[in-house]
Structure 1
């Protein structure tokens, strides 16, 4: 997923409370209400003429197709598979897609319509509205494609891409292809390795399941963690480690590693492909990275903390460093062993020590 510097998250919030016997946390959210309210409170996009917006839609659709061949060539993945069309969305369309994706990811058919579901739906609407102005592109491996019916949809949010390319003052055609290179890499990752979707769903199921702990169990576990000084990866995990069961924390850590690998690989491919296909790639990368790290106002800093954006930015940096190091040492063909199974994925420690992953797996 590519976002501007204001926010980053892989999905809308989920509520902790269980009702109606559902095991999945997301079942207690009225997603229809969340989508409806989110569309109403979302900020309008940049002011553009109909001609400009139509042209942007057409150029993004074409860019997503053009990106496929060089991404496949560099990664060595998904060779020969069909190239599905991207969905070019406005902010309201992205909100609808996100509200559909979450139940699909959680395997939920009947969504909550009770009081708690509506309360949670209102909360989810606020975050969906906020994110709808930040997401540039996203690959959703859970929702079915409208044409093929197969799971997996590449989404590009046209007004947000236009807004950022204006703010950065970069060449629009180049920036649009650059964004597509990142998102198409995600599509290739999942289409070439279908087990990744099930792996994500299994870990999410553990994360959102009813823990069955008493308050005493939770307090005891937190106290033990504090006394033992448990720290993981320089505090990136933070409070999540204290508030989850050991099984949930393991699933959370596996999701963190997967996200770091996916994002780092996409950034590596983006930079590997860019110089040959995006004439102004150096200018775009410099401007985009500067925007990611610029000082934020207090409200923006709070939102970054709440949705975990700083951890996500670390994923791009640490993940790309891991992929750069492994590919530089053994080449892309050997690196692709990482996609074989959960056992060949790096551990959290190996992300920081690529040589250890090479020694264990290769």
Structure 2
């Protein structure tokens, strides 16, 4: 029996996720076909700009709705985290009884489902690395439609722009075979390390009670700062550096490809950047608690790293970053790309 009821998470997510835009079946089918076409169109310019090649056998992008996105991500979260939960329980030497596991699984499943429901209305696309399964590129049709309308941008251009970004993620992982296992292993190891024992849990509860107001204050301390040790924060920074690389590289490629294939790319980038900042105080707080503000910094810092490195060694020199885990940027190098250049290129 699992420690998270992932099927209940799917049910909860499907129940809570907001409905997508109101369209006719004909409009929905047309949008799905347009997204599929945009995904195919993105392949060649992304490969040429990134100078990376997806193997021909890599599967095509999947165009999905919000419920499907929830189901796929619940499966991936389960495959990623269940071995970690088993390792934690083994380390502690205490296995909860069947009744306690069933109840706990429902509670944690409901929590996971609520989180997935929130995210399912925000995500435009995702390369699912699918631990234990088959990786796939997903494009969330209702969100692409609704965000284009929300921003007041050309829907055809926006659709193509999103596909450029997500296709870059597909290239990153398919052209670099070791990268997927590296990210999975690092995420599992970090999750296991972050799980507190009972004594540490009591200490953290006290610290959170005392310091929680800082989380709610604009510009204050994030939750991670309150519940982790310096060593854990160092490991988190290392994984964050990799995620910053992936997101920043996708943004750089997307914008470099854009002018030739997306006529209104500058307008889209300006409007989309405004959206990333969040709509209001409540939205910013929720983003902060869920770690989405840190996600936004990954785009900005990662793009600056990629641009900085490419200015010194060009695109081909930058692509040495994909050679091995040892050539990935260190946390301190994200803010100092020339130090990465010196370490990798001498």
Whole-angstrom distance in 2 between the partners of 1:74 and 1:131 = 30
Correspondence for 2:303 among 311, 317, 320: 320
- Residue aligning to 2:31: 56
Gaps of 5+ in 1: 1-19, 21-26, 145-149, 224-234
- Residue aligning to 1:282: 266
The answer to whether residue 6 in structure 2 is matched with residue 35 in structure 1 is no
Q: Deviations over 1:85-120 (max 9, x none)?
A: 111111111111111111223365999961101011
CA drift of 1:248 comes to 3.9
Whole-angstrom distance in 2 between the partners of 1:126 and 1:107 = 19
> What's the secondary structure of 1:135's corresponding residue?
coil
The answer to whether residue 45 in structure 2 is matched with residue 70 in structure 1 is yes
Correspondence for 1:121 among 109, 119, 124: 109
Contact preservation (8 Å) 1:236, 1:311:
no
Alignment map for 1:161-240 (pairs within 5 Å): 161-209=144-192, 211=195, 213=197, 215=199, 219=203, 238-240=222-224
Whole-angstrom distance in 1 between the partners of 2:169 and 2:110 = 30
Whole-angstrom distance in 1 between the partners of 2:333 and 2:287 = 26
What TM-score do the two structures reach when normalised by structure 2?
A: 0.84
Gaps of 5+ in 2: 87-97, 208-218
Whole-angstrom distance in 2 between the partners of 1:109 and 1:324 = 36
Correspondence for 1:257 among 241, 261, 264: 241
Contact preservation (8 Å) 1:141, 1:151:
yes
Aligned residues between the structures: 319
Alignment map for 1:237-248 (pairs within 5 Å): 238-245=222-229, 248=232
Contact preservation (8 Å) 1:203, 1:254:
no
CA drift of 1:174 comes to 1.1
Q: Deviations over 1:46-78 (max 9, x none)?
A: 111111111110011111111111111111112
Alpha-carbon distance change, 243 to 110 in structure 1, aligned in 2, over 3 angstroms = closer
What TM-score do the two structures reach when normalised by structure 1?
A: 0.81
> What's the secondary structure of 1:88's corresponding residue?
strand
Whole-angstrom distance in 2 between the partners of 1:132 and 1:154 = 15
- Residue aligning to 1:11: none
The answer to whether residue 294 in structure 2 is matched with residue 311 in structure 1 is yes
Contact preservation (8 Å) 1:46, 1:159:
yes
Contact preservation (8 Å) 1:190, 1:197:
yes
Whole-angstrom distance in 2 between the partners of 1:246 and 1:151 = 35
